Structure 1
Amino acid sequence: MNALIKWLEKYVVPVATKIGSIRWLVALRDAFIATMPATMAGSIALILNTFVRDIPTQFGWTKFVENMQWLIGINGQVWTGTIAVIGLIFAMTFGYHMAKQYGVEPLSGGIVTLGSFLMALTQTANVTTALPKAITGAAAKTLKAAGATLTVTKDAATGKLVHNLGTSGWGFFNFNGHFGSQGLFTAMIIGGVAVAIYIFLMKRNLTIKMPDGVPPAVSQAFAAIIPASAAFYVVGIFTWAFTKLTNLAFVDWVAKVIQEPLLHASQGYGMVLLLTVLVQVFWFFGIHGTNVLGPILDAIWLTAQYQNINTAAANPGAKLPFLWTRASFDLYAWMGGAGSTLILLIAIFIFSKRPDERAVANLAIAPGIFNINEPVMFGLPIVLNAIYFIPFVLAPTVMVSIAYFAVTHGLVAPIKNQVVWNIPPFINSFLATADWRAPVLQLVNFAVGFVIWAPFVIASNRIKPDELS
């Protein structure tokens, strides 16, 4: 055991420490956190619609659903301004926190990333309409001259030929796709480049300096003009050239080449297991694993979660695109916090005879119920406590494996609602999935985790507090 811990201290901890100190990763994490007011408001709207629309619909309570249309409509408006446009909101918060990390004017940094994000999006809309009869002759020539397209397709149901009129227009953003979770990776890439240019020029003092006595807000705005303009033009030249050369908007290319493969990989058991183990190992050495790996967890699995949420909101009852999302870790592997330390506290109350452990458990149980585990992590402690290293890593590993295969085999519904991270176990899983089987899965995992933790708690009775290392 000591040899393993020394090896981890030598090779793993330095890497984790360096990752945790990279400023753009910290900014990325903080940017996701900053979207919480929007995501929580949108989550409330979606959860309310679960209870007034989705569940009643399952039971055939059509009259109740009809009477609640006013609330369903209001919730839809809230969703439209929050989770539905989370990519747009993140584009602003990312630039703000990047600029803040590097000590330059942050609001302009947010404006730079927001504007750059919009440049990378599709700005045209194509609409195809089936015509009641064919258009020929002069009318067809006039429409084609105006930029319309005329096509003929075969109706699969009737076998008849259908004449279609296609038109396109400029100035239409893809609200349902690009403004939402599909735009997150584009905001990270194109926004990161833009704000890096802005920060670089601000640091080199390539700014317009105003005389003393000018209000700070005015002075800061003028100072940002040259760096922001340079960033906008670099991004503008790139996105214009990219579209001309590829006939694709940059956001569509990112979705196809980068985002889709990463999201697909995130659904594999190996990737889920690896992230779970790394979070536990980092935490054991006192490094906040969920924060250090937050940029990865949020960029990949939170993106998948937002796509589930938006799919469920736009098409109730439709098949969700992703089975494993960001909240899946919290619900099934980290009950009470990383390591499922709420289970440890219950085991201490039942089996521990050590006064120091029972005293910490008495203090930590209330926050633990709400998934706050710093009191037990640093008070027991679990950090660098060799007796608890094995269950701290093993319990979440086994629990995440059980949950992964339960969800991927259709035994439990995937997550379709965003829930606040500090909602107690069993309640949070039902709200997140609207599936009664999710709390049952949590209960099974709780029991399995208890079986893993209990022997080590019993063993710790033989160790005096001053003998722990």
Structure 2
Amino acid sequence: MNGLIAWLEKYIVPVATKIGSVRWLVGLRDAFITTMPATMAGSIAVLLNALLRDIPGQYHMDGFVNAMQPIIGVNSQVWTATLAVYGLIFAFTWGYNLSLQYKVEPLAGGIVTLGAFLMGLTQSAAATLTLGKALSGSAARILTDAGATVADKTVTTNAWGYFNFGAQFGSTGLFTAMILGGAAAAIYIWLMRKNVTIKMPDSVPPAVSKAFTAIIPAIVSLYAIGIFTYAWTQIFDGQVFLDWVNKTIQEPLLHLSQGYGAVLLLTLLVQLFWFFGIHGTNVLGPVLDSIWLTAQLDNINRFSQHETVRYLWTRSSFDMYAWIGGAGSTVLLLIAIFIFSKRADERAVANLAIAPGVFQINEPVMFGMPIVLNAVYFIPFIVAPVVMVTIAYWVIQWGWVSPIKVQTVWVMPPFINSFLATGFDWRAPLLQLFNAFIGFAIWAPFVIAANKINPNLED
């Protein structure tokens, strides 16, 4: 055991430490965290509409649904301004948080990445009109000469100045925002740090001075992205950058994320990082959020539109089924300590840590027990989440439990969170309960064994 820990400490810890200190990854993680107010507001709207419209509608409670229409309409407005445009919101927070990491003007940084994102989108919309009868030859020629396409009883035309709201502003735009926004931010930050800026006298108000300071870096970065995206559409016959990113990068990554190997590897890495005192969920947050959160937001938006969800494993799936009470499912360890431990030190920590643990906060037990670098608890800390994630993954794959469809607050207690997040699937809390029993059974023997290690036992 000591040899394994020494090997991990030599080869894994330096990598984890280096990853956790990369400013770009920290900025990306913080960009997702900053969007939390919008994601939670939109998720509440989706949840309320499920309660007021979707579930009653299944039982033909039309009178109730009609009476709730004003509230349903307000919820739809909130969803439209939050989850439906999540990519747009993220595009700003990405540049803002990255600029904070490099200590340059953050508001201008957010504006730069937002503008860069918009340049990668379709800027025209096609409208199709179905006619009652086919047009005459002369009428059809007039429309064709004007740029429309006439076929049988339909007329299709394109109009410039419209973004494809549904297909581009939501989670489908995240990878484009990361790539184009990241490129624009890199140019902006480099020029700001090189002081290629407009200097204003000290007498100028700070807000005005900061705005003028960012003018040259912002112009250069936006024009650089503008040249790139324009050239892209010319070279690839009008294809916008977002469509290419989604087809060649985002969709393959999301498809890969649904494989058991990817889910298992991520779970294992988080546990290993945590064991050595490195916040695994934070260090790997950019991976968790850019891939599995993207899948989750896609599910939420499809659920709100009464469409079939596409992804079975999402960001919250880890928290609900593998990390009950935090990474390692340490709340199950605390329960085992209350039942089996005779050690006064462990019971004292458990008394203090149980309340935060119920709400998914496990730092008190991680560093107070401690779990970090504790050879006694290394095996259950690694094995319990691995076994639990394996059970949950295949149960969901087999269709026995619904996937995540609603975003919930991460500090929501177990059983309640899974019931709400799956759109009121009663089987989800049962899966959580079963996994909790399995995790408890893995932790318990090691808690009993720990009694023999400390000579100061409590009768």
Query: For the superposition of Structure 1 and Structure 2, which TM-score range results when normalised by the shorter chain?
Result: over 0.9
* 1:98 counterpart residue number: 98
Is 1:377 the equivalent of 2:366?
yes
Deviations 1:160-215 (Å, cap 9, x if unpaired)? xxx32111100110111211100010000000000100000011111010112101
Deviations 1:36-70 (Å, cap 9, x if unpaired)? 11111111111111211222223332222121111
Match of 2:256 among 265, 270, 285: 265
* 2:300 counterpart residue number: 309
Q: Distance in 1 between matches of 2:202 and 2:308?
A: 61
Q: Distance in 2 between matches of 1:455 and 1:34?
A: 41
Q: Distance in 2 between matches of 1:178 and 1:78?
A: 18
SS at match of 1:16: helix
Deviations 1:230-286 (Å, cap 9, x if unpaired)? 001000000011011112111111111100000000000000000000000000000
SS at match of 1:177: helix
Deviations 1:281-337 (Å, cap 9, x if unpaired)? 00000000000000000000000000000001122xx31111110000001000100
SS at match of 2:88: helix
SS at match of 1:336: coil
Is 1:408 the equivalent of 2:417?
no
SS at match of 1:425: coil
When the two chains are superposed, the root-mean-square deviation of aligned CA atoms in Å is: 1.0
Deviations 1:102-154 (Å, cap 9, x if unpaired)? 011111000000111111110111122232222232111111110000224xx
Q: Distance in 1 between matches of 2:20 and 2:79?
A: 33
Residue 220 of structure 1 aligns to which amino acid in structure 2? Answer: K
Residue 39 of structure 2 aligns to which amino acid in structure 1? Answer: T
| Contact 1:356–1:465, Cα closer than 8 Å, also in 2 | no
Q: Distance in 1 between matches of 2:53 and 2:30?
A: 34
Q: Distance in 2 between matches of 1:452 and 1:64?
A: 48
Q: Distance in 2 between matches of 1:331 and 1:84?
A: 25
* 2:166 counterpart residue number: 176
Q: TM-score, normalised by structure 2?
A: 0.98
* 2:407 counterpart residue number: 418
* 2:127 counterpart residue number: 127
Q: Distance in 1 between matches of 2:313 and 2:390?
A: 12
Deviations 1:417-453 (Å, cap 9, x if unpaired)? 0000000000000110121110010000001111111
In structure 2, relative to structure 1, the CA distance for the partners of 1:465 and 1:384 (3 Å cut) is farther
5 Å-filtered alignment, 1:8-407, equals 8-152=8-152, 163-246=153-236, 247-315=238-306, 318-407=307-396
Structure 2 unpaired stretches of 5+ = none
SS at match of 2:166: coil
Q: Distance in 2 between matches of 1:422 and 1:313?
A: 23
Deviations 1:349-380 (Å, cap 9, x if unpaired)? 00111000000000000000000000000000
Is 1:4 the equivalent of 2:31?
no
SS at match of 1:381: coil
Offset of 1:94 from its aligned partner?
A: 0.5
Q: TM-score, normalised by structure 1?
A: 0.95
How many residues align? The count is: 454
Structure 1 unpaired stretches of 5+ = 153-162
Q: Distance in 2 between matches of 1:451 and 1:55?
A: 37
| Contact 1:339–1:392, Cα closer than 8 Å, also in 2 | yes
Q: Distance in 2 between matches of 1:465 and 1:415?
A: 47
Residue 457 of structure 1 aligns to which amino acid in structure 2? Answer: V
Residue 431 of structure 2 aligns to which amino acid in structure 1? Answer: L
Deviates more, 1:141-150 or 1:50-59: 50-59
Residue 112 of structure 1 aligns to which amino acid in structure 2? Answer: V
Residue 334 of structure 1 aligns to which amino acid in structure 2? Answer: W
Residue 229 of structure 2 aligns to which amino acid in structure 1? Answer: T
Q: Which runs of 4+ in 1 moved over 6 A?
A: none
Q: Distance in 2 between matches of 1:267 and 1:235?
A: 32
Q: Distance in 2 between matches of 1:357 and 1:48?
A: 42
| Contact 1:301–1:326, Cα closer than 8 Å, also in 2 | yes
Q: Distance in 2 between matches of 1:5 and 1:286?
A: 13
Q: Distance in 2 between matches of 1:13 and 1:55?
A: 48
Offset of 1:465 from its aligned partner?
A: 7.3
Q: Distance in 2 between matches of 1:42 and 1:425?
A: 21
* 1:158 counterpart residue number: none
Deviations 1:386-434 (Å, cap 9, x if unpaired)? 0101100100001011111111111001111000000000000011012
| Contact 1:430–1:439, Cα closer than 8 Å, also in 2 | yes
Deviates more, 1:42-51 or 1:214-223: 42-51
